[in-house]
């Protein structure tokens, strides 16, 4: 979706993503999942699967590595404080759309994601999605194409494999995580530099995710770090800090 000058065809990219023939699950698996959701009599329906279902759209210049994350954040702050000082080039950068950065996840199959969320919504289920794959810790609200909250997602960090702290070594991890939460509206929590696991605690009233980390995987001498905890209550499809 790049032309000969390096320009990005955002419209063509969006059209390809919206192709209804593309599927992550396939018909057989989708029908099985929809059937399980329909047959469930439990308070919570917990879907364990590999990749992020949450919408993780970030500004196209950042996703395409035309500008660093911290530089984009500084530019965004400049636009908020003194928009009249923006150059034409800076304004053009900020005018570009947000796009998904990881097409191997559900972001690459938005039509299929909408089918799953639609099934949960129509059945009025308390859907909790569990994910991994990215090596980082995330918590997001899952919203349909209309922006309505349908489910929540808790994603675990890796046990030892590196995350964004090695992919983006020039970025401050704390600032990066905070900035991602600011830029990605459905994202409610991010930890991109520590390795560990996710603990899920479920009761009739709430489902709570707590992340546990260690401060380093590069030595046997490490310290335990208790991360954040977020919860959702039955019927809410929203996340709140504990």
Q: What are the residues facing 186 on neighbouring strands?
A: none
Whether the Cβ atoms of residue 24 and residue 110 lie closer than 8 Å to each other: no
Q: What are phi and psi of 167, to 5 degrees?
A: -70, -40
In the three-class reduction of DSSP (H, G, I as helix; E, B as strand; rest coil), residue 4 is classed as coil
Asked if the structure places residue 31 within a domain, the reply is no
pLDDT score of 64: 85
Determine the structural domain holding residue 121 and report its residue range: 44-58+106-241
pLDDT of residue 70: 86
223 within some domain: yes
How many structural domains is the chain composed of?
A: 1
Residue 50 lies in a domain: yes
Q: Are 76 and 158 in contact (CB under 8 A)?
A: no
In a domain, 136, yes or no: yes
Structural domain includes residue 49? yes
Give a yes or no: residue 7 inside a domain. Answer: no
Task: List CB contacts of 203: < 8 A, sequence separation 6 or more.
Answer: none
List residues bridging with 149 in a β-sheet.
Answer: 143
Beta bridge partners of 138: 155, 190
Instruction: Flag whether 26 is in a domain.
Output: no
Structure confidence at residue 169 (pLDDT): 87
Q: Is residue 121 part of a domain?
A: yes
Q: What is the pTM of this model?
A: 0.92
Per-residue pLDDT of the chain (242 residues; tens, 9 = 90+): 877 777 788 889 999 999 999 999 999 999 999 999 999 999 999 999 999 999 999 999 998 888 988 899 899 999 999 999 999 999 999 999 899 989 999 999 999 999 999 999 999 999 999 999 999 999 999 999 999 999 999 999 999 999 999 888 888 999 999 999 989 999 999 999 999 999 999 999 999 999 999 999 999 999 999 999 999 999 999 999 99
Rounded to the nearest angstrom, the gap between the alpha carbon of residue 76 and the centroid of all alpha carbons in its chain is 21
pLDDT at residue 168, rounded to an integer: 87
154: which strand partners?
130, 139
């Amino acid at each position: 979706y790049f032309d000969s000058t390096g320009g990005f065809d955002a419209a063509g990219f969006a059209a390809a993503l919206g192709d209804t023939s593309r599927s992550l699950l396939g018909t057989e698996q989708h029908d099985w999942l929809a059937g399980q959701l329909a047959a469930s009599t439990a308070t919570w329906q917990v879907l364990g699967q590999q990749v992020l279902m949450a919408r993780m759209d970030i500004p196209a210049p950042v996703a395409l590595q035309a500008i660093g994350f911290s530089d984009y954040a500084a530019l965004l702050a400049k636009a908020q404080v003194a928009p009249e000082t923006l150059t034409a080039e800076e304004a053009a950068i900020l005018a570009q759309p947000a796009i998904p950065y990881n097409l191997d996840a559900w972001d690459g199959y938005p039509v299929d994601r909408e089918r799953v969320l639609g099934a949960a919504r129509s059945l009025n289920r308390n859907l909790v999605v569990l994910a991994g794959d990215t090596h980082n810790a995330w918590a997001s609200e899952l919203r349909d194409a209309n922006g309505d909250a349908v489910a929540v997602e808790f994603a675990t960090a890796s046990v030892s494999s590196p995350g964004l702290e090695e992919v983006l070594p020039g970025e401050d991890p704390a600032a990066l995580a905070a900035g991602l939460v600011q830029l990605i509206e459905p994202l409610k929590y991010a930890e991109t530099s520590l390795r560990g696991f996710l603990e899920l605690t479920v009761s009739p009233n709430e489902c709570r995710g707590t992340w546990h980390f260690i401060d380093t995987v590069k030595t046997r001498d490490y310290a335990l770090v208790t991360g954040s905890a977020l919860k959702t209550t039955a019927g809410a499809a929203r996340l709140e800090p504990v």
